[in-house]
Amino acid sequence: MPPASFFILSCVLFSLGGLAFLIKRDLITQFMAIEIMLNGANLALVAAAKLWGSLAGQVLVFFVITVAAAEAAVGLAIILLIYRQKKNIRSEEINQLKG
């Protein structure tokens, strides 16, 4: 497959993630949209690494996946704490993080 098709797919993934983040108001859905955006960026980095014959893009993807895993753990913990306090995870109804 040509690398251009991977770049197009990564742009579609990133755009759909951004659109979902802006449209949906549920914190879990917004969180998943950010993960889709990160996967789109990772796909573009891997395609660029294959196109240029370098491993730098794949190494960068490894670090992005590591940061995304940490972000997932911390983000889900924060969402769980917000739900325990407010009994709601809709982003427009949460305007303060203090109890």
- Which residue segment(s) compose the domain that 9 sits in? 3-93
Residue pair 37/21 in contact by the 8 Å Cβ criterion = yes
Kindly state whether residue 98 falls inside one of the protein's structural domains.
Answer: no
CATH of the domain at 68: 1.10.287.3510
Q: Is residue 35 part of a domain?
A: yes
Return per-residue pLDDT of the chain as tens, 99 residues.
888 999 999 999 999 999 999 999 888 899 999 999 999 999 999 999 988 988 888 899 999 999 999 999 998 998 898 888 888 888 777 766 555
**Residue 99 is assigned to a structural domain of this protein:** no
How many domains are contained in the chain?
A: 1
> pTM for the full model?
0.83
Q: How far apart are CA 71 and CA 65, in angstroms?
A: 10
Q: Cβ(51)–Cβ(66) under 8 Å?
A: no
